[in-house]
Amino acid sequence: MITALSVGFLMGWVGSMPLAGAVSIFVFQRGLAGHFRRGILLAAGAAAAEAIWCLIAVVGAEQILSRWPGLEVVAKSAGGLILLALGFYFLLKIKTLPASIDEDPAGINTPDTLLREFWLGFVLVAGNISIPFTWLGMITIAVSWGLNPVAGPPWLFVTGVALGIMGWFTLLLKLLSAFRSRFRPRTHELLMKAMGFLLLAVGTLTLLRAWL
């Protein structure tokens, strides 16, 4: 049981590290702006949705895929289109560094704002229906390495995944909070544009892999 929890934590942590993901970019933006609690709530929403998708992968994604093999193409295509849309969003909409806590003390951490951040993170992940197939592949790789993340109760592995995701994003936000003063608005704009291009590239690659 401890192995399932620890393996889930490790897989959740490592799987959240690439900055090409939509959630990572949004959390990165919150961290640069000094919005630690907003970033944490966004990450929590993403972790909750990821845990649900992971549970689906553990208990039934393989059976679903064997019954409807064409669903994988649909799932990957949807994921690619989401990444393309987010890439255009970062290229066209993100122009300046969001207001810091000192500049907007009243509106940053209201319950409504924090709840919206949670649901933003949840929707970003829940809307990507290719995730359970990705988790199915990751679990298969773990088993091939001699680890069996689903040897215990599925909920234990899924809990470890959620904790791993939260662990990585908490560390990321702490680091950004410590070094954010070194980022100028122009640097932030260029960084967001670079991430926008990265999302477009990953989205295009996802679509090509789905269709070819």
Domain chopping of the chain, boundaries: 2-211
Asked if 123 and 52 count as a contact pair (C-beta separation under 8 A), the reply is no
Q: Single out the residue of 114, 108, 11, 113 nearest to residue 58, CA to CA.
A: 11
3-17, 23-37, 53-67: least confident range: 53-67
Instruction: Provide mean pLDDT across the span 175-182.
Output: 76
CA atoms of 167 and 19, how far apart (whole Å):
15
- Residue 120 has a pLDDT of 92
Structure tokens at 94: 């993100």
pLDDT greater than 90 at residue 191: no
pLDDT digits (tens, 9 = 90+) for 142-177: 665 666 666 677 888 899 999 999 999 999 898 888
Q: Show the 3-state SS of 131-164.
A: HHHHHHHHHHHHHHCCCCCCCCCHHHHHHHHHHH
16: left (phi over 0), alpha (psi -120 to 50) or beta: alpha
CA atoms of 139 and 8, how far apart (whole Å):
10
| Best mean pLDDT range from 3-7, 47-51, 87-91, 123-127 | 47-51
Measure CA of the first residue to CA of the last residue in the chain; give whole Å: 40
More confident residue, 42 or 96: 42
CA atoms of 124 and 79, how far apart (whole Å):
10
56: left (phi over 0), alpha (psi -120 to 50) or beta: alpha
**pLDDT bracket for residue 188 (50, 70, 90):** low
Cβ neighbours around 129 below 10 Å, total:
18
* 8-state DSSP, 146: T
| pTM for this model (two decimals) | 0.70
89: left (phi over 0), alpha (psi -120 to 50) or beta: alpha
Structure tokens at 72: 């994988």
pLDDT digits (tens, 9 = 90+) for 64-119: 656 766 766 776 676 677 678 777 877 776 554 444 444 444 456 688 888 999 99
Structure tokens at 29: 């933006």
